[in-house]
Amino acid sequence: DACGAVAGAADIALYRGQGYETIPSRGPLAANTVAGAVSGIGAALRLSARWGGRLGLARLFEDAVHYALNGFPVTGSQHANTVAKLPELADVPGFAATFLEDGEIPAVGAVFSNPALAETLTRIAKAGTDDFYRGDLARALAAALRRAGSPVAADDLARHRAIEVTPLKVRLETGTVYNLPPPTQGLASLIVLALFDRLDCHEADGFDHVHGLVEATKRAFRVRDSHVTDPAHMKIPPEHFLDGGRLDDMAATIDAARAMPWGTDPGAGDTVWLGAIDGEGRAVSFIQSIYWEFGSGVVLEDTGIVWQNRGTYLSLDEGALNPLAPGRKPFHTIQPAMAGLDDGRLMVYGTMGGEGQPQTQAAIYTRHVNFAQALQAAVTAPRWLLGRTWGDARTSLRIENRFDRAVIDALIAAGHDVELTAEFDEVMGHAGALVRHPSGLIEGAADPRGDGAAAGF
């Protein structure tokens, strides 16, 4: 858990005093929590060393440095997001200088580079990840944050540490599934699968499958939105909600034919998931996020670093479940998943997509494990999204139009507020998965909705 906490200077009075009713989603005041990803890399490297890992930071960063320095082709996703978000980001410190070319949005296929980021990565590779928080780089970052107008200071960086946590787990008929504890929504993902495991469904992508997972999601989100926060402030431990009896009671509230009314206002997110399995069967499910597209939009001068805006999820209401407070960790939508199956397979999987993450994880797991779909087919198959994703307030049930029309009509008849989307809609997230079979064969899948890939080395 490398989640960064709220800056010491970022309290409710800071924002209320400037006339804000909510935390800005862009700009320096959106950059109000410590960036924790670099500490997570350091913690992972130390864990790898205990496993006998032989690769140092210089080699691990080598390809990233190469592409940051020499460039890579602009993807359709980057171009579309720059077009869509430029009106709210154009005046944010450092954004235009980094993401525009002579004031224009780079075209798809144009070469995009970030030499300053290449230099920063090279510096971290030489000095170590701790330099980001307590070294010369930390002092440079703190100065750049101050000049940009962010409340994050040197003391905030120095206090930050990544920590090892015990994953949450739930036992299913097919195996044991693991996910991260709060402040992530990993609990919700486990509840969704555990509730579906208690339903009577035997066919992939039919009404029972989609309806069952959507209804399980509603129950899981109610728990999440009522209880999940910084673990230091949770009143009920997350394991309480994974008790078999409580899951039985929750599953019993699911009507096999009717949708439960839905209209909550949950959170958003933006993420990248990566998975890896080595030749000895050691597996990693990894996720990181800058929250919305381009995060806060603030690019720290001379570093190429885009600061995230995860703290915008927090509330300026002191009585809220997740209020803004110095030192508090914000709620995170991100949560990497792993499963040890009873037949000997090991599965790592995940996705970007805010509200969609637990839903997509459940779709991929049940398709592949419960219904024996090939892993790539499970990722490629049409998906759905209940609720909103980053920067979007809709709470309808969005469904890709590749679903059988009879399934769509049955969902509407059951009371779901269905909204059809494109065949492969990016709003459904960019998923990926790896499975190691008992034979040693590793099966991989990448999402055609995104820019990722599955590869062996």
Selecting among 82, 184, 271, 389, the annotated active-site residue is: 271
d(CA 433, CA 443): 8
Catalytic residue flag (residue 271): yes
Active-site residues, by number, are 271
